[in-house]
Amino acid sequence: MINCDRIETDIFVGSCPASTIDVDRLAGGMKVTAILCLQSDKDFETYHLPIAKIREACVQQGVEWVQRPVIDFDPEDMAQSIQAPVDALNELLTAGKRVYVHCTAGICRAPGTVVGYLHKYRGMSLEAALELVKQNRPIANPYMEALKIAFNQED
């Protein structure tokens, strides 16, 4: 079962969908119309996730699946890779989607993506964006130094 929180009306952050039931919950109860996945294929293998079934459930539910991997537990990769999921989130929201952003546990990569989005596209400081995310998802703990590097906000 996923663990998630709503950050804004159309942005949810949480853990990875582990079954088709999770996709049903996202699409049905939460009215999610797109899933932005930050996991890599290696993550799917490591955690034995039935990704083919999960993607098929997305198709059946009319939920768009977008994968923009960022390596887990790797701040350097986050600094180099985070722009792609941030831009993908903006594209999905601009298209009117209600988006579920997830990594494995919904603690670092997914919240980091939302922080980056709020900074880049909503003009918030990284600190204010983090505060908003943490108000709604207290377990959020993105690599802020990596985000500062990615968005040229180093001290």
Q: Which single residue is written with the structure tokens 């952050």?
A: 13
Give the Å distances, CA to CA, from 61 to 2, 3, 26, 98, 127.
Answer: 17, 20, 10, 13, 36
4 as an active site residue: the answer is: no
Using the CB atoms, write b or e for 49-83: b if 16+ within 10 Å: bebeebbebbeebebebbbbbbbbeebebbbebbe
* Partner residues linked to 36 by β-bridges: 66, 101
Q: Which of 16, 37, 58, 103 is catalytic?
A: 103
Residues designated as active site: 103
